[in-house]
Amino acid sequence: MERRIDRENWNRNAHDQLFARLEVPFYSVTWRLDVTEAAAYAKRRGISFYSVLIWCTMKATNGVEAFRYELRGDEVYLLDHRNPSYTYQWDEELFGICGIEWIDGEDPVSFAVRMKRAEAANPSPIPTAEADEAGHDVYISSLPWIDYTHISQEFPLDNTDSTPRVMWGRFETNEQGRKTLSYTVQVNHRLIDGIHLSRLNEWLNGAIHALEAL
């Protein structure tokens, strides 16, 4: 279910109106994320590291309320959940885009299996415009060939665009054996502030560390 927000009683209505004056209210932040437990879990369970980190990302984004706000014209809605829309290798040179429903409480292995099934059944690498607009998504991608320090992502010149965009690079192993990577989140400042990114990071770390017990 979703709920329409009463703007008059919404605590960030003034902040939304401030950033609504801008044509481009979007910003992105990159930080170093420790994914040691995620990589170990993927190897232990025989699934892709990519699927595990997407699962952790969706746990985090759905765990922070601000990431579930959606602008529709002059109205704001709070979504029950967002779904992952992610890139994957379609062939040697091209990527595909696939989306699946997020199921709260699903374990990472079952999630990885559904990802593979959806990719195998995907009729085209690029969804139609109608299909692309149908879901309340988080756009997820990776750059597994490069350990980058900064990246910019594409976005429409529509300041009501509410879709969080997440990307990460190749992980590196330090002298202590910890695996870390650059993790980037791009959001609309009308809906999401720095404190919400901090909470996202807390949820991410919690989801990753919890994998040790699974």
Instruction: Give pLDDT, residue 204.
Output: 98
Domain that holds residue 81: 24-139+147-174+189-213
Residue % of the chain over a pLDDT of 90: 91
Q: Looking at residue 64, which CATH number applies to its domain? A: 3.30.559.10
* pTM tops 0.75: yes
Q: In what order do the strands lie in the sheet with 75-79?
A: 2-4, 75-79, 69-72
| Strands 179-188, 69-72: pairing kind | unpaired
Total count of domains within the chain: 1
Q: Is the pLDDT of residue 124 over 70?
A: yes
Is 18 within a domain?
no
Give the DSSP letter of residue 170.
Answer: -
How confident is the model over 107-115, as a mean pLDDT? 98
How confident is the model over 147-163, as a mean pLDDT? 93
How confident is the model over 144-163, as a mean pLDDT? 94
Is 51 within a domain?
yes
Is 198 within a domain?
yes
Q: Is the pLDDT of residue 129 over 80?
A: no
Residue 203, token pair as written in the block: 């949820």
Residue 85, token pair as written in the block: 């829309």
Is 12 within a domain?
no
Residues 6+ apart with CB under 8 A from 55: 108, 111, 112, 207
Q: Look at the alpha carbons of 4, 6, 10, 13 in this order and tell me if their dihedral is positive or negative.
A: positive
Question: Residue holding tokens 């950033």?
Answer: 19
Instruction: Give pLDDT, residue 131.
Output: 61
Is 207 within a domain?
yes
Is 129 within a domain?
yes
Is 15 within a domain?
no
